[in-house]
């Protein structure tokens, strides 16, 4: 069935209270394991109904953020989702406290009970009103960014289209685009500061109501961290500074000299190869035709997957006003249907949609019948991003279909851009630790903290002369910082795993791809570090792992570097 024809029905709070309340009570009253398992099936069915409805409503809101019906539906789920989370929390507590737990742990996946333990630490009835307030603030930010328009050379456009010019091969054009970006954001400076300040304080209030020192600890529990903690992430950030930042600085400044650039400005950051980054040699229809050829050549499973996605028109990639400005993959569980939203703008990023986002969608397709998919999903977000970022690299042999004779330039750009991302993404995480450990910082102090982090993680990038952005505000259009605190480090962790698969694929593509498929099929049944170990990839938390990785990626980049 085409995605546009999928039927939508509001799943109400009253319905969830009845179904989840009944399942929870049944767990409490159970005398046998079989009775608990029957109650669990009730809970899973109800949660699939709820997730399908809320995902459909959000998807239809995001493709048109001024559609009154789906604005109201999204607002409804924003309003009730804390109460639904609390019902799920009560069910988790009943499972954890069941006298039958020892027997249940033998017949159910042990990761499920680890997840329940973290869930118990992530929510409390005392913070439900605060969670509603948080959702409203996030929606306010999302609507602000979706509706924000920028003027460039007499034309008004959304940010997704403006950023097309940030990758132009003409330096003056890039500077003009970033100038207009800064001026456009500056027009909304007060609201951006106000929304974030309120988000920081409501999250801090929630944490303190639950007995935590600040939101950092609660934030980690909300992200369902099962195999790493704050101390490991702190060590990872330090290793990025020590082992990755010098390599990125060396490669990017060398690259700048090839492009005739002495002083590396923020508007130079989005261009990686001299002469301008390669653009797809095909249009939107050509990209999807090439994607179909690629996935058919890759494996039988990927062939079936892409045919299903195209037949069901499970993509919305046209950039337009009042459409959500980012990109994502979601799925509608009851229909076993993934969906991808993006904003094509004629850059190489358009191809990333049918590799990165399709990596997420392929995982959803492969685990649609997994027994634990509703409760554990595909695993933590570090696992989810491993699926998508690795697929980007497994697509390398097929890049000539998208870029023609520029395929080699694309591969070089892609790898260097991905390596450059590690310091930036880690900086985002460091910034969030600062603002939530010190929730009373003023907007000016937060911007100063960002500028200081830029000097550490991206010391070669300069912002002076660019309106507003030179104040330390680059983070304000990084949507994750507002919407999903502590998510961004998952991209960095996953990027290290993806590089591991890339380096392995250079030696034996078929073996690396088979290990990737094995990792992907397991969904959330094993924690990320165990999945890496089984795939033969080192944990990025191990001493020296990032030094070895950076050395290997730099060697690969120098090997594939095109003639400039």
CA dihedral angle for residue 473, residue 483, residue 324, residue 193, rounded to 10 degrees = -40
**pLDDT score recorded for residue 249:** 97
Sheet holding 328-332, edge to edge: 315-318, 337-344, 328-332
Give the CB-side neighbour count of residue 156, counting CA atoms within 13 A. 5
Residues sharing a CB contact under 8 Å with residue 421, sequence separation 6 or more, in sequence order: 491, 492, 495
End-to-end C-alpha distance for the chain, whole angstroms = 48
Domain boundaries, the chain: 3-133
Per-residue pLDDT tens for 149-208? 999 999 999 998 899 899 898 999 999 999 999 999 999 999 999 999 999 999 999 999
The least confident of 80-84, 165-169, 333-337, 511-515 is: 165-169
Q: Please provide residue 265's backbone torsions phi and psi, each rounded to the nearest 5 degrees.
A: -100, 165
**pLDDT score recorded for residue 258:** 87
Q: Could you give the percent of the chain with pLDDT greater than 90?
A: 91
**pLDDT score recorded for residue 62:** 94
Length of the chain: 564
Instruction: Give the mean model confidence (pLDDT) for residues 217-222.
Output: 96
**Hey, which residues does 337 pair with through a beta bridge?**
332
* Cα four-point dihedral sign 495, 497, 498, 504: positive
Of the candidates 168, 143, 236, the one whose C-alpha atom is nearest the C-alpha of residue 495 is: 236
Res. 10 pLDDT band, cuts 50 70 90: very high
Instruction: Give the mean model confidence (pLDDT) for residues 136-140.
Output: 94
Strand, helix or coil at 7? Answer: coil
**pLDDT score recorded for residue 273:** 83
- Radius of gyration over every alpha carbon of the chain, rounded to an integer in angstroms: 23
Instruction: Give the mean model confidence (pLDDT) for residues 334-343.
Output: 97
**Token pair of 239, please?**
């290793």
Per-residue pLDDT tens for 232-251? 999 999 999 999 999 999 99
The mean pLDDT of the chain is 96
The string over 273-309, giving b where at least 16 C-beta atoms fall within 10 Å of a residue's C-beta and e elsewhere, is: bbebbbbbbbeeeebbebbbebbeebbeebbebbeeb
**pLDDT score recorded for residue 277:** 79
**pLDDT score recorded for residue 274:** 78
Placement of tokens 């980012």 in the chain: 326
Pairing of strands 315-318, 337-344: parallel
Instruction: Give the mean model confidence (pLDDT) for residues 458-484.
Output: 96
CA distances from 162 to 166, 212, 250, 326 (A): 7, 42, 29, 13
**Do 453 and 430 contact (CB within 8 A), yes or no?**
yes
Per-residue pLDDT tens for 269-279? 999 887 777 99
**pLDDT score recorded for residue 345:** 87
pTM of the predicted model as reported, rounded to 2 decimal places: 0.92
**Do 415 and 502 contact (CB within 8 A), yes or no?**
yes
Q: Please provide residue 274's backbone torsions phi and psi, each rounded to the nearest 5 degrees.
A: -55, 145
CA dihedral angle for residue 279, residue 331, residue 85, residue 428, rounded to 10 degrees = -10
pLDDT of 343 strictly over 80: yes
Q: Please provide residue 329's backbone torsions phi and psi, each rounded to the nearest 5 degrees.
A: -125, 135
**Do 104 and 36 contact (CB within 8 A), yes or no?**
yes
Q: Could you give the percent of the chain with pLDDT greater than 70?
A: 100
Strands (E), 333-396: 337-344
Number of neighbours of residue 143 by Cβ within 10 angstroms? 17
The least confident of 6-15, 453-462, 540-549 is: 540-549
């Amino acid at each position: 069935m085409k995605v546009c024809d999928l039927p939508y029905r509001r799943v109400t709070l009253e319905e969830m209270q009845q179904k989840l309340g009944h399942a929870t009570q049944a767990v409490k009253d159970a005398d046998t394991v079989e009775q608990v398992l029957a109650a669990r099936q009730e809970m899973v069915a109800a949660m699939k109904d709820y997730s399908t409805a809320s995902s459909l409503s959000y998807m239809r809101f995001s493709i048109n953020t001024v559609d009154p019906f789906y604005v109201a539906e999204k607002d409804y789920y924003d309003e009730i989702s804390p109460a639904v989370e609390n019902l799920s929390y009560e069910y988790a507590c009943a499972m954890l406290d069941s006298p039958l737990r020892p027997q249940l742990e033998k017949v159910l996946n042990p990761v499920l009970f680890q997840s329940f333990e973290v869930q118990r630490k992530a929510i409390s009835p005392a913070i439900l009103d605060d969670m509603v307030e948080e959702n409203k603030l996030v929606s306010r930010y999302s609507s602000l960014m979706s509706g924000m328009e920028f003027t460039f050379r007499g034309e008004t456009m959304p940010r997704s289209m403006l950023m097309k010019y940030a990758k132009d091969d003409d330096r003056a054009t890039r500077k003009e685009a970033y100038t207009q970006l800064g001026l456009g954001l500056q027009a909304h400076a007060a609201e951006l500061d106000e929304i974030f300040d309120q988000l920081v304080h409501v999250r801090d209030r929630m944490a303190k109501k639950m007995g935590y020192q600040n939101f950092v600890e609660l934030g980690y529990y909300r992200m369902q961290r099962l195999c790493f903690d704050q101390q490991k992430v702190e060590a990872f950030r330090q290793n990025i500074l020590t082992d990755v930042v010098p390599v990125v600085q060396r490669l990017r400044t060398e690259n700048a000299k090839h492009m005739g650039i002495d002083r590396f400005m923020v508007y130079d950051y989005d261009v990686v190869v001299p002469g301008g980054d390669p653009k797809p040699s095909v249009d939107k229809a050509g990209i999807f035709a090439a994607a179909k050829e690629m996935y058919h050549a890759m494996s039988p499973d990927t062939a079936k997957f892409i045919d299903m996605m195209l037949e069901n028109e499970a993509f919305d990639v046209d950039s337009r006003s009042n459409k959500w400005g980012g990109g994502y993959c979601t799925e509608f569980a009851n229909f076993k249907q993934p969906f991808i939203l993006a904003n094509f703008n004629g850059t190489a990023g358009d191809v990333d949609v049918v590799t990165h986002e399709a990596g997420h969608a392929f995982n959803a397709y492969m685990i649609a019948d997994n027994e634990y998919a509703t409760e554990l999903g595909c695993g933590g977000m570090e696992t989810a991003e491993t699926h998508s970022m690795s697929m980007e690299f497994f697509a390398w042999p097929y890049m000539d279909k998208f870029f023609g004779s520029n395929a080699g330039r694309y591969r070089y750009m892609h790898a260097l851009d991905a390596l450059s991302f590690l310091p930036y993404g880690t900086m985002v995480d460091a910034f969030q630790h600062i603002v939530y450990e010190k929730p009373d910082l003023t907007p000016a102090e937060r911007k100063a903290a960002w500028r200081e982090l830029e000097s550490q993680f991206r010391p070669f990038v300069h912002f002076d002369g660019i309106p507003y952005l030179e104040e330390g505000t680059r983070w304000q259009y990084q949507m994750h910082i507002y919407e999903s605190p502590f998510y961004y480090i998952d991209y960095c962790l996953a990027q290290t795993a993806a590089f591991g698969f890339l380096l392995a694929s250079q030696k034996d593509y078929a073996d690396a791809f088979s290990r990737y498929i094995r990792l992907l099929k397991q969904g959330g049944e094993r924690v990320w570090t165990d999945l890496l170990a089984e795939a033969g990839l080192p944990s990025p938390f191990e001493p020296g792992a990032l030094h070895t990785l950076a050395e290997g990626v730099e060697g690969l980049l120098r090997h594939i570097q095109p003639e400039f």
